[in-house]
Amino acid sequence: MKGILESLREQVREELQNCRQIEDDELYACIDRAISQAGEQEYLPLKQRLELRNRLFDGFRRLDILQVLVDDPGVTEIMVNGKDDIFVERQGEIFRWDHGFEQGSQLEDMIQQIVSRINRSVNVSHPIADARLADGSRVHVVLPPIALNGPVVTIRKFPEPIDVNKLIAWNSISNEAAGFLEKLVKAGYNLFISGGTGSGKTSFLNAVSGFIPETERVITIEDSAELQIRQVPNLVRLETRNANVEGEGAIEISDLIRASLRMRPDRIIVGEVRGKECLDMLQALNTGHSGSLSTGHGNNPQDMLSRLETMTLMGAELPLAAVRSQIASAIDILVHLGRLRDRSRKVLEIVEVGGYIDGEIQLNSLYRFEEDETGTGAGTETRAEAGGRNQQKVKGSLKKTGTLQAVGKLRAAGYQV
């Protein structure tokens, strides 16, 4: 079947060379003609014809052999390390997939198809690119010579919007803490979400964004649009742009933050801060845009503050005291997420960012995840995993550890304190 598939692919490609745009029905008709002609040369059972038809359509219009993984709701991440090595994540565990691309050109064509849909490019001169699929899944591409394995593609799927009720059902956050965060978001507290890679920062940001009142004007700023805010009609979505082949025309997050300030936003949501744009974000939060949200990579709340300091200094040479004062003034609440040893994602800590006193930013812990400590093997219970393995499930809860000190915004919003 491999030889037939390649022959049909070349035949269809030649027929499409003179067509600038072609509808799905026309592509199916072209594929059907090619399969019919091949069926005249040798016997092709109906099942094989249908498989060839779907494989060819997926190759030209969708994600080729990866489409079955994209359509699988149980797959949360797809990792392609060259044409032969494909790994998938299911329920937090990574498995090697039994299939691969037949030729490197198939993988390269799929990559170009993905990035071209959002008017981006990736090539030898610019071998790194971020993109997204039509369903909102995040795509990161690295090409040779940077990637020694061959083209590397990582697809993070967001199969359906996650709200706070789902997080509560999954024990990622307690009902009490969720209600507390709802009040804070509605009252206009600035929230920053931190965590490591794969800890669920974007999903959590999506969830808490659901607390934003429908009457407000919200502007989202992202490298690659992933947020799915559906309840706010007055929503503006901004996305960065890479430089063109001449090295011109790049639009960075810092440019979009500055532009958003002239759009009369009630709230600004920055998908993730990674560099010098942190300075622009802090300035935006300190100029009257209460209730804004953002995320960043950090190992714990204190580490996240240190990283914010470093990223801010990348944007301008400022005294460290001034930077820390800006951070303490801009961010009200820091929510830290983590991935535990059983691969579950949970809110590990919620802290209030206090004032800048004696050269340090004061932190007030409000909620902290604590494992159960009763009995032998405390904090775990055994559960069966795919593949016949037993996995120790972490048992614990998010416990209240302190009281919010800065209650002015809650009072102003009409909440009883």
What does the angle CA 408 – CA 409 – CA 415 come to, to the nearest 5 degrees?
A: 95
Contacts 24+ apart (CB under 8 A), 42-46: 44/4
Confidence of residue 376 (pLDDT cuts 50, 70, 90): very low
Q: Is the per-residue pLDDT at 116 higher than 80?
A: yes
Q: What would the pLDDT profile of 201-247 be if each residue is shown by its tens digit? A: 989 999 999 999 999 999 999 988 888 888 999 999 999 987 776 77
Average pLDDT, the chain: 86
How far lies 108's CA from each of 83, 103, 105, 388, in Å?
9, 9, 5, 36
Joined tokens for residue 388? 């016949």
187 three-state secondary structure: helix
Which of these, 70, 215, 57, 41, lies nearest to 132 by C-alpha position? 70
Helix 277-285 / helix 320-330 crossing angle, nearest 10 deg: 50
pLDDT for the residue 310: 95
Least confident range from 2-6, 201-205, 298-302, 385-389: namely 385-389
The whole-angstrom separation of Cα 139 and Cα 127 is: 14
Q: Is the per-residue pLDDT at 339 higher than 50?
A: yes
Transcribe 208-229 into DSSP letters.
Answer: HHTTS-TTS-EEEEESS-----
State the average pLDDT over residues 378-385. Answer: 54
pLDDT for the residue 106: 83
How far lies 305's CA from each of 71, 295, 323, 371, 413, in Å?
39, 12, 10, 25, 28
Asked if 342 contacts 396 with a C-beta cutoff of 8 angstroms, the reply is no
How far lies 282's CA from each of 120, 208, 233, 288, 329, in Å?
29, 20, 26, 11, 9
E-strand stretches of 257-395? 267-270, 293-297, 333-339, 345-357, 360-371, 380-384, 390-394
pLDDT for the residue 54: 76
State the average pLDDT over residues 104-125. Answer: 86
Q: How many helices (H) and strands (E) does the chain have?
A: 13, 17
Q: What would the pLDDT profile of 273-287 be if each residue is shown by its tens digit? A: 999 999 999 988 888
The whole-angstrom separation of Cα 213 and Cα 391 is: 41
Decide: pTM greater than 0.85.
no
Identity of residue 15: E
Asked if 81 contacts 149 with a C-beta cutoff of 8 angstroms, the reply is yes
Least confident range from 33-47, 74-88, 369-383, 400-414: namely 369-383
State the average pLDDT over residues 363-383. Answer: 73
Cis amide bond preceding 145, omega within 30 = yes
Confidence of residue 363 (pLDDT cuts 50, 70, 90): very high
What does the angle CA 216 – CA 138 – CA 220 come to, to the nearest 5 degrees?
A: 20
Least confident range from 101-110, 177-186, 274-283: namely 101-110
State the average pLDDT over residues 17-24. Answer: 65
Backbone angles phi, psi at 218, to 5 degrees: -120, 135
